[in-house]
């Protein structure tokens, strides 16, 4: 069972905003970190393209990830139902996999910081790359909060389970073709039980 990380299992907005604030302090820039934190989904490289010339983006992103490792991770918290969702899969003998756009070492740090345990983490994957990772691990479903997560599930022939805990509403996620839309992961155990029954 595959899960996205940011805004699916964890609320990473305060940590992302705090990391941008520190980056602005160090570089003397004025990136609107609070705004970017509210629409998590695009890769860091895509977001930075609006503020830096292409040749500076790799170094700026490295700097962001370095700051994120401490300040950002400290700002993470579990989203409601995350622990029970992972626990439900494990109790049924299933394996849990996180596939995320986040830099893999920072994904591990976030999961450790909020004390969520998963069997495997694949980081630094976005869009179609997420689909390839899901296929490689034989994921039956992928649970995520954005349209690219739905597309990733499709690409891997997995059930696209969308959660409206991020920037996209339940209506928007349904319109993007999610197989199932949940208000939050609090609804996940009941959905899984019903899906296994059917
Ligand atoms: Mg997400």
Residue 182 has pLDDT above 80, yes or no: yes
Total structural domains within the chain: 2
- Beta carbons of 52 and 24 less than 8 angstroms apart: no
Nearest to 18 by CA among 61, 72, 76: 72
Say yes or no: 95 and 155 in one domain: yes
Say yes or no: 86 and 160 in one domain: yes
Neighbours of ion ligand 1 (CB under 5 A): 4, 6-7, 145
Range(s) of the domain holding residue 116: 2-11+78-197
Say yes or no: 137 and 51 in one domain: no
Residue 17, both tokens: 């905003």
Say yes or no: 89 and 166 in one domain: yes
Residue 46, both tokens: 């895509």
User: Scanning the structure block, which residue is given the tokens 């989904």?
Assistant: 41
**CATH number, residue 59:** 1.10.150.240
In tens, the pLDDT along 57-113 reads: 999 999 999 999 999 999 999 999 999 999 999 999 999 999 999 999 999 999 999
Distance in Å, CA 115 to ligand 1 centroid: 18
**CATH number, residue 111:** 3.40.50.1000
pLDDT at 152: 96
Residue 42, both tokens: 């695009």
Distance in Å, CA 166 to ligand 1 centroid: 7
CB atoms under 10 Å from CB of 89, counted, come to 23
The CA-to-CA distance between both ends of the chain, in Å, stands at 17
Say yes or no: 82 and 17 in one domain: no
């Amino acid at each position: 069972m595959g899960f996205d990380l940011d805004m699916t299992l964890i609320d990473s907005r305060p940590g992302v905003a705090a990391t941008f604030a520190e980056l602005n302090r160090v570089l003397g820039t004025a990136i609107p970190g609070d705004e970017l934190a509210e629409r998590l989904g695009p890769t860091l490289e895509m977001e930075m393209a609006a503020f830096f010339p292409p040749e500076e983006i790799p170094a700026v992103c490295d700097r962001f990830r370095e700051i994120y490792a401490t300040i950002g991770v400290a700002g993470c918290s579990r989203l409601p139902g995350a622990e029970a969702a992972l626990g439900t899969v494990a109790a049924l003998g299933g394996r849990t996999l996180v596939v995320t756009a986040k830099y893999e070492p920072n994904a591990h740090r976030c999961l450790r910081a909020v004390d969520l345990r998963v069997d495997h983490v694949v980081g630094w994957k976005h869009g179609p790359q997420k689909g390839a990772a899901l296929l490689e691990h034989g994921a039956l479903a992928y649970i995520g909060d954005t349209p690219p997560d739905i597309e990733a599930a499709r690409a891997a022939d997995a059930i696209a389970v969308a959660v409206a805990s991020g920037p996209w509403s339940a209506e928007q996620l349904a319109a993007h073709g999610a197989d199932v839309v949940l208000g939050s992961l609090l609804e996940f155990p009941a959905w899984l039980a019903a899906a296994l029954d059917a």
